[in-house]
Structure 1
Amino acid sequence: FEPYRASELYTILKDRVDTAFHQGVVGEEVIDYISKMSGYDTGGDGNARKALAVLHAAGKLADKDLAEGRANRVTIDHVRQVIAQEYPALVDLLDNLHYLNLHEILVLKAALHALKESGLDYVPMSMVEATYDKICKELGEEPRKHTQLYTYIMDLKQRGIIITKTSVKGRRGRSTYVGFGVAPLGAALQKLDAVIKQLRVG
């Protein structure tokens, strides 16, 4: 088959959402996320059938959460959970956190928490920093300065734990945005909390 671009997959997925889901249950951010994960021009394999299967499976997960009162729509994290079942190595990545110091892990937790709370696939560095400051305050830790935080983010990116992108916005110059690939955020945050507890006791 001819592999599809992300924009083509977006159209295919949007058509399916319009016919198979109730209005408002699947937001554009979810369709955009699946199409960019799957499009051959954005790093995927361009397989429309697989992209539709991910959408369907995410819908099933959302149904379960809806029945249990944990969600009212399909989210990007539902998609992450579906894809993570296919790529378990991305979840196992978090088992290799022993080489990070406490504040690098706190920055990572802040990024994942901001992603989970916002429901976005990328969050601005300013949101990560605000969440990090809040986490430090809760733990009684002295937060690191902005420059050090940026260094931590770049180090986490270098290690393949997070992904970043830059956006040019007017006179303020470049803004850094942080994302986390496809691993489900809930499981990742649980793992981080366990590691933080060990480090603080140790």
Structure 2
Amino acid sequence: MQPIIEALMRRQSTKATTLVEPAPDDAALAPVFAAAVRAPDHGAIRPYRFRIIRGAARNELGRVFAEGLRRRKPDATAEDLEALAAKPLRSPLIIAIMAKIVPNHPKVPPVEQVITAGMAAQNMLLALDALGYGAVFLSGAPSGDPHVKQAFGLEDQDALLGFVYIGTASEERREKKRPDAAAFVATWDAPLTVDA
């Protein structure tokens, strides 16, 4: 089996709460971002944007998450707000994954721009795994929250895809059961007639 196939077959998410220091420093992240920007990108729009969140900035991100929830659900309990505020503290490093959308592009619709950012995130996950770090891509309600998007300087049409939580796995990953790929694959037979 080719090394790239082996890497793809080995990669899996690491539970965020098991991620501890050391996390990659800026030098270690350089090849991760270099891999990210090699994602397929129709029109060379380069819609992907990444924000590194570490140290005390994780507390601030938690406050932004909680404030977004408070605005969405004014009846949210203090426990709900505190639980959401603690989410960014699960790992020592987080990278926000965003798509800065070029609206009304003549050839590349917004969905393709979002897909490019998603593929950049997958390249990052593969690079982190190759470097020996654990990582998991998480989204949830904060990713679509207008207050959270605004905190990252995004406009309404832009997308906050989610957050890659990164660190060193503090426990061995359990191999996840994967579906049989053949169950999702079929050969398409062209229809005999097509409506004009």
Name the TM-score, length of structure 1 as normaliser. Answer: 0.26
Which protein shows a greater Rg?
Answer: 2
Greater relative contact order (Cα 8 A, min sep 6): structure 1 or 2?
A: 2
Q: Which one has the bigger helix percentage?
A: 1
